[in-house]
Structure formats: structure tokens, C-alpha cells
Amino acid sequence: MKQPCPVCKHAVLKSIYDNGQYEIWQCVSCKYAFLVNPPSQPELEKIYNQAYFLQFQRPYVQKDAQKKFNFVKKIARLESQTQLLDFGCGIGDFLKIAKNYGLTPFGFEFSSYAADFVRRCHQISVISSTKLAPNLFPPHSFDIITCFDVLEHIPNFEQVLDLFRLWLAPQGSIFLTTPNIESLEAKILRSKWYGFSKIPQHVNYFSPASLNLVLKHNRLVAHEIKPWGFVRDFEFILQNLLKSEKNVWRDKLLDVIRFLGINRVNVYLPLVDMMVVAGKTLVRKKANVQFDS
């Protein structure tokens, strides 16, 4: 592949996934990977339709949002005047928690349907646009910017981080989660990794090293990078993490947990993702990076 890595400009890329329709190339240096043939705008509109957002109206999604908020609360100084932007806010579970805690929340969402849902159901201000621009929000206006499970969906991620720097207050913090393509389970499972099940929605796959580089390109610095996961119920886990064309044992287990009434019990799985805390200024001498190999 002659195209250099979009992140570190290294000349050597290799194919790591190809299902006949979509292919992923990875840089051999920084380990950033990307979808070679991402969906077109009409295809994206079909993917991110109303049904896409309705699937997130589940109790485990709300508990997942609460876990993320608890982490933000642990790291950041939250006060009643704290201004928070949730970028890619979806149907607003995280924003609702922030509002109930007493913060001043704002949202940005590409989907007009999801943005309308947040305004109508949670009475929270959300800007919706398919195009990014500096004047969407005033400069330096947010103490906290969150971007959970979003960066992997956006081809122009450099522009997003550049805008975060513009909108972030001088001592503000950015919290983001995204799949870690260098996680232990990704290395073990390879093409069967759960992160690849989100093709073609996911067009970027970051490693801690490549994400550090992207932040530096946009004059941001990672204060902490740590393993992260997600809250899901047992039915979701069996249907998605044990997915295969023919899995008799999975189907039998599904019947058992449904019979026992535990199929909707929520559990936290410390898999797939990484949590990144970043800002404009280095408040620690060295980033706290917690990862296997």
C-alpha cells in the first residue's frame, strides 16, 4: 500500500481485515487502522436512522452512561456552574445524568432525530448539524467535553479534536472512549474481535500510541489512558460477543437464561475500549498509560 499512515505518515501499511466487502489497513508503526472504503453519505444516512438510536433505549445503556459519569466525577471538579459538552450525545442518557447532578449540560449530535429526542425528553440544549464549524459554540466555553464511543465513527477526527481545543476552557478536560485495536482481546481474536463487528459504522481504530499522536497534532495532551469496557446484559453478550454463523451452545444458553429470567441482568465487561483523559495543559509529569504490552 503506497498511501502513508494518516496519523504518523509511516510508509508501510498492511491489510488486517477483509470480508470481501470492507477492508481495514493498519500502520505497522503507530498501529492506527482505518476502513479503506468507508460508507458514502447516503449510506451513512441509512445506517444512522431512527432505528439505530432506538436500540439504545435499554437499561444497560443508562447504567453504562452512569459508570462513565462516575469516572468523570472522580477526575474532574464538578460544580453547579460547570459547563459540559457531550459531543455525539445520542439520545442523551449521559446529558440527563449531568443535568440531574446539577451541571450545565449541552449536546452536539449529527442526527436531527436524536437531537430532537434529547430536547423533547430531557429539556437540554442540543445543536444538530451534519457539518462541523468553529462557530457552533463560543471559544473556551466548556469545562468538560465528553466524546464517548464517537471518534471511531468520524472520518475527520482531526477536525473534531481541533474544535475541542477551541471550545475547551484553559484548564478544562476532555474525556473520550474508543475501541483499542491493540487491546489483548483484539490481538487474540484478530478478525473475530468484537470491534470489527461494527463495520462499516466504525471507520477508525486507534491504539494508545496513535491516539497520543493525534492529540499532539491538535495541541492536546493525554493525562491518562486506561482500559475501559461497557455495561451490557447477558442476552446482548451471548448474541453479540459469541456471534457465529452456527452456534448451538449459544442458542441453548440463551434459552436457559431466558427461562431463569436473568437474560436482562446487567454486567460490566472490561473489554474492547480505552478511556482517555486529555487537556490543553500537562497537569501531570507523565501520562498514566495502563495497558497490557
Tens digits of residue pLDDT in 109-159: 999 999 999 999 999 999 999 999 999 999 999 999 999 999 999 999 999
pLDDT (0 to 100) of residue 137? 98
pLDDT (0 to 100) of residue 255? 84
DSSP the chain: --SPPTTT--S-EEEEEE-SS-EEEEETTT--EEESSPPPHHHHHHHTSHHHHHTT-SHHHHHHHHHHHHHHHHHS---TT-EEEEET-TT-HHHHHHHHHT-EEEEEES-HHHHHHHHHHH--EEEE-SS--GGGS-TT-EEEEEEES-GGG-TTHHHHHHHHHHHEEEEEEEEEEEEBTTSHHHHHHGGG-GGGGGTTT--EEB-HHHHHHHHHHTT-EEEEEEEEEEEEEHHHIIIIIT--S--HHHHHHHHHHHHHT-TT-EEEEEEEEEEEEEESS--SSS-EE----
| Confidence band for 277, pLDDT divided at 50, 70 and 90 | very high
Per-residue pLDDT for 83 more than 60? yes
| Confidence band for 45, pLDDT divided at 50, 70 and 90 | confident
Per-residue pLDDT for 108 more than 50? yes
Mean pLDDT of the chain: 90
- Choose between 137 and 253: higher pLDDT: 137
In a domain, 189, yes or no: no
- Residues 180-194 have pLDDT tens digits of 999 998 999 888 898
Q: Structural domain tally of the chain?
A: 1
pLDDT (0 to 100) of residue 230? 83
pLDDT (0 to 100) of residue 251? 80
Range of the domain at 246: 46-149+159-179+210-289
Please give the average per-residue pLDDT across 83-88, as a whole number: 98
In a domain, 274, yes or no: yes
In a domain, 202, yes or no: no
In a domain, 253, yes or no: yes
Please give the average per-residue pLDDT across 266-291, as a whole number: 72
In a domain, 272, yes or no: yes
CATH of the domain at 79: 3.40.50.150
In a domain, 104, yes or no: yes
